[in-house]
Structure 1
Amino acid sequence: MTSTVPASLTRTAEGATLQAVFLDMDGTLVDTEGSWWDAEVSVFADLGHRLDEEWREVVVGGPMTRSAGYLIEATGADITLPELTVLLNDRFEQHIGQGVALMPGAARLLAELAAHEVPTALVSASHRRIIERVLDSVGRDHFALTVAGDEVTRTKPHPEPYLAAAAGFGVDPGRCAVIEDTATGVAAAEAAGCRVVAVPSVAPIAPAPGRRIVESLEEVDLAFLRGLVTKRIDSAIRSGSVNKWRKN
């Protein structure tokens, strides 16, 4: 995890509801899910194997070890997991060598969060080397903190990455909004106790209580994100569990 959090960002205004916003990277912030699949297809082609298009939904959004392990088992490729991980990261970096495109609505949302000094973190299952390459393209100043998949003990769908981001800002996970594009990422954020906005990319995400699903980031702004946390607090007050919720 890397952080450039100034003191002003670690102190939210008294009585504020939304304390921080966490964004996933691939497929949420930047249009790279296709590049990952292209990298996987080309690497396995070099190994003499053809990937089934149906496997794409299986490997999307997960940690590298899970995706690579699945593809080794599915194809029977004669390669170790560490060797394949290196090849996939190398090939992906080649695919994004000329830069990456932000998802629709991402630039506007990042600008709005910055204008209102909302602490914002990038939380990804991708390795640090990949995050750094993407940040070179989209700009590091958008994020005061970043969490990489190879810097935590357990990555998504475990809640550790989002709990680490909340701890890095010194905020309550229950007052943080997370934007994710895969079921794996949504599971991690919800397990951490965050409020979640799902923007499905490759695979659909099922509706669930307290989960907001939108078609693109064009539908998401600061008021929308604040509303997620406010509704949670109101619901807790009505149920009589607000004191318990505040302690969690």
Structure 2
Amino acid sequence: MTTTVSALGTRPADGSALQAVLLDMDGTLVDTEGFWWDVEVETFAGLGHALDESWRHVVVGGPMSRSAGFLIEATGADITVAELTVLLNQGFEDRIDRALPLMPGASRLLAELAAHEVPTALVSASHRRIIDRVLGTLGSEYFALTVAGDEVARTKPHPDPYLLAAAGLGAEPSRCAVVEDTATGVAAAEAAGCRVVAVPSVAPIAAGHRRTVVDSLEQVDLAFLRGLMTEMP
């Protein structure tokens, strides 16, 4: 299921081969990947368990069910995935209510895409309740479509969220530029057949076919994204 807000049209006005831009949320537009790990650490401490720092790379960027299941198994904590999910979502909401920093370049990129009427979707593994809270700060008006992790049968690293977003915007996946910060998200976008810009937040991501790696979102603008469409097929 998707939520549609303030549609911006179906094609760029100048006929560019770029048909849509699909953006991840945590770690890509908002500086929150560290928030999730902090909440996981605090939650498990309350359950009497310490998390190993090396597990951070395992749980980053994926669906909450996978992260929660891994941490329960790794620690042996006496809690169900459903119960842990409630605690983690609540802990995260408490964090973003106090502060929600945007990634450098996020506001500028969103404003530029909107100014040029480029169809844009937010595609996140986070649950709808989290996305809607973040949109209050990020700006729901920038997105023609939003896809939450609990609204698809299979979320990242499966391609389903990106295929759903592309279809919802009337775009061909191969003509969509995706911006992601984790290997899990990159895998989902590439499996969908999209061009990918990786802006690593927690763990390194190597460059590859149909994938460009940059150091910061500040290096990404509309001209850059359009340029991806003219590269190798």
TM-score by length of 1: 0.90
Aligned to 1:74: 74
Q: Is the 8 A contact 2:177 2:225 kept in 1?
A: yes
Q: Which has the higher contact order (CA 8 A, sep 6+)?
A: 2
Sequence identity percentage: 74
What is the aligned partner in structure 2 of residue 2 from structure 1? 3
Equivalent-residue separation in structure 1 for 2:181 and 2:148 (angstroms): 17
Provide the secondary structure at the position in 1 that maps to 2:121: strand
Larger Rg over CA atoms: 1
Q: Which residue of 2 aligns with 1:120?
A: 120
Is 1:40 paired with 2:43?
no
- Indicate the residue corresponding to 1:242 in structure 2: none
Answer whether contact 2:5 2:145 (CA < 8 A) is retained.
Answer: yes
Code of the aligned partner of 1:92: F
Give the conservation status (yes or no) of the 8 Å contact 2:156–2:188: yes
Q: Deviation per CA, 1:121-176: give whole Å up to 9, x if none.
A: 10000000000110112211111110000000100000000000001111111100
Paired positions, count: 232
Q: How does 1:1-248 map to 2 (within 5 A)?
A: 1-4=2-5, 6=7, 9-13=9-13, 15-231=15-231, 235-236=232-233
Query: For 1:9 and 1:98, how far apart are their aligned partners in 2?
Result: 34
Contact kept in structure 1, 2:12 and 2:117, CA below 8 Å = no
Structure 1 letter corresponding to 2:189:
A
- Measured at CA, do residues 14 and 108 of structure 1 come closer, stay the same or move farther in structure 2, by a change above 3 Å? closer
Partners of 2:230 and 2:130 lie apart in 1 by 35
State whether residues 99 and 137 of structure 1, in contact with CA within 8 Å, keep that contact through their aligned partners in structure 2. Answer: no
For 1:182 and 1:87, how far apart are their aligned partners in 2? 23
Contact 1:124 1:148 in 2 (8 A): yes
Aligned mates of 1:93, 1:171 — CA distance in 2: 33
1:154 partner letter: R
Structure 1 runs of 4+ off > 3 angstroms?
A: 11-15
Distance in 2 separating the partners of 1:12 and 1:114: 10
Unaligned runs of 5+ in 2: none
1:222–1:12 distance in 2 versus 1, CA, 3 Å = closer
Give, as a single letter, the amino acid of the residue that structure 2 aligns with 1:22.
Answer: L
- Deviation track 1:222-245 (CA, whole Å, cap 9, x = no partner) reads 0000000122xxx34xxxxxxxxx
Q: Deviations over 1:88-138 (max 9, x none)?
A: 001111111124111011111111101101011100000000001101122
Query: Aligned partner of 2:23: which letter?
Result: L
Contact (CA 8 Å) 1:99, 1:134: kept in 2 or not?
Answer: no
For 1:85 and 1:189, how far apart are their aligned partners in 2?
25
Secondary structure at the counterpart of residue 18 of structure 1: coil
TM-aligned CA deviation for residue 206 of structure 1: 2.0
Q: Higher mean Cα deviation, 98-107 or 8-17?
A: 8-17
1:68-103 deviations in Å (ceiling 9; x for gaps) = 000001100000110001110011111111241110
> Which consecutive unaligned segments of at least 5 residues does structure 1 have?
237-248
Residues 162/78 of structure 1: CA separation in 2 closer, same or farther (3 Å cut): same
